[in-house]
Amino acid sequence: VAVARVWWPHADPRRAARRLRWRWGQTADHLAYLGQAGGEGMLGGAQLQRRALRFGPARVEVALLRQLVVDADHRDQGLEQALCERAAEVAAEAGCPLLLVRLRPGWSAESGFVRIHDPLVVGWPMEQGRALPPRPERVRPVGLHDLAEFEALWTEYFAPHLGASWDDAADLRGKLNGLLPLNPPVFALDEAGAVRGCFVPGAGWPRGPQAVVALDAEAIRDLRAFHAHRTGAWGATEELRWVVPADSPTVAAAQELGATVEREDDPTIGPAARLTDRARLLADLEPLFTERAGDLRPDFAQASDADLCQLAFAYRPPADLGLNDPAWAACFPPATAWLGDLVGR
């Protein structure tokens, strides 16, 4: 009942609470639900999910802090801070050395998180997308029979990036099952019918995609038209905004079509991390260090927890953090990060 009050104040509380328990119980990546109780019932809460992220050959289990909510009458009383502190403890106990969140203004600094990623955003005015005549012969829904082709495109596009989900390729059948039949991904095709891109729709009201792959300008043109006309059915008027990996072919294809390409570098929002277990993070990253630097290691004690978070995701070069030993640069060279779970939402 208390959980339901946080999310659905006007719903039947018993039914809403049952739905929450069922949904989280059926979700393999559910880690914990945290609630802040008070004399009047539940004052706030948050969900923790588990993810495995790819850092080259290293696999790092992380916890994602989702849906942090505090009752409007009890904000600015330290409840968000308390929930974040408890989330960090639970993450560490679960073997997750990093706690990740998408920041929002007002509570990031005091909660111990540091920004780790500047998503690259491609955008167009909505009317430009709707002005493009749809070419239905150049797009088609993805079905389970397309799993191998979908997996190959997804893996080639996202797997090389730091922070890409380790399990995405293995979980694609589940991803497809979750989207079919009402909200399937869509392939972009060339004249010969070969796949040149893919649009993975977001769940629910379609404000934007979970992911966009476009290998050339023609593919992005057709995906752009598809997205514009698709959202038009819901009366959407805001700019089309797609978040994409910075070194992806989608960026060049979008620029050919006159898109704006900018970094989402507002320090009060975006992906951020908090270190929960320094020793475990360094141990988990050891395969990456070995691949990059052999036996060379810096004195890790020189780096703060915030420094290690930014270094792990290549958000700052070591020299910018005052870490000038060549071993730092060997272990943490420049790289491109991709945090699909925490960008563009």
Domain locations along the chain: 2-119+267-331, 120-260
Beta partners for 201? 209
- Tell me how far CA of residue 5 lies from CA of 12, 79, 140, in angstroms: 9, 16, 41
Cβ atoms 86, 229 nearer than 8 A: no
Beta-strand pair 114-115/240-244:
unpaired
Place of tokens 């739905």: 19
Please give the Cα distance from 122 to 242 (Å, whole number).
5
| DSSP code of residue 109 | G
User: What type of residue sits at position 276?
Assistant: T
3.40.640.10, 3.40.50.2300, 3.10.20.30, 3.40.630.30: CATH of 120-260: 3.40.630.30
Q: How many CB atoms lie within 10 A of CB 286?
A: 12
- The pLDDT score that the predictor gives to residue 11 is 41
For the domain made up of 2-119+267-331, give the CATH fold: Aminopeptidase (3.40.630)
Closest by Cα among 123, 157, 238, 146 to 194: 146
- The pLDDT score that the predictor gives to residue 312 is 96
Please give the Cα distance from 110 to 114 (Å, whole number).
10
Closest by Cα among 100, 111, 35 to 74: 35
pLDDT mean by block of 10 residues, the chain; 345 residues = 36 47 56 74 79 94 84 70 87 95 67 88 85 92 92 88 84 80 90 94 62 92 88 67 87 89 82 95 98 97 96 96 97 91 63
Give the angle 135-136-138 at the CA atoms, nearest 5°: 70
Cα-to-chain-centroid distance, residue 96: 17
Fold equal for 2-119+267-331 and 120-260: yes
